[in-house]
Amino acid sequence: MSSIKEHRAYYIFFTLIQILGLVILLTAPNQKIQLTAILLMAFSYFVFAIAHHMMNHDLTAKIVVEYALFASIGLAVVMLLLR
């Protein structure tokens, strides 16, 4: 938990970005915008997390794969429900 406290600002910013994506997703007038919103949410999650690891100098290929897989799961779930 101490590492979370250390990076509190990052997590707050990260959460706000995701909430913004959620608001856009839920208020989008059509499916194209909804799909764009979820793509941007997944992309920002991936980029922010990778950048965070890079700043901490602990980025590895396995970590990149993990983020890519979680982002894909999130994308698949939303696309499944939007279908």
Partner 1 sequence: MIKFLKHYFVPHSSNDHRARILHPSFLSFFIVVLLSLLIVAPHIKQAYPAVLGVSTNISINELVDYTNQKRSENGLPSLSLSSQLSSAASGKAMDMFTNNYWAHVSPSGTTPWFFIRNAGYNYVYAGENLARGFDNASDIVNAWMASPSHRENILSGNYSEVGFAVQDGSLTGSDTILVVQMFGSQNSTNVAQGGVSDDVQASVVETEITPVPTGVPVASAPESTNAQGVAALTSQPLVDSSLATRNISLFIMMLLIVVLAVELVVIDRKKIERIVSHNLDHIIFLVIIVIAAIIIGGGSVL
Tell me which long-range contacts 19-22 makes (C-beta under 8 A, separation of at least 24): none
Q: Provide the residue type at 24 as one letter.
A: I
73 is an interface residue for partner 1 by CB under 8 A:
yes
CA distance 6 to 64: 22
3-state secondary structure of 29: coil
Q: Does 22 bind partner 1 (CB under 8 A)?
A: yes
Q: Which residue in the block uniquely carries the two structure tokens 């839920």?
A: 26
Question: Residue 8 interacts with partner 1 (CB under 8 A)?
Answer: no
53 binds partner 1 (CB under 8 A): yes
Summarize as ranges the residues that interact with partner 1 (CB under 8 A): 1-2, 4, 11, 14-15, 18-19, 21-22, 25-26, 29-31, 38, 41-42, 45, 48-49, 52-53, 58, 60, 62-63, 65-67, 69-74, 76-83
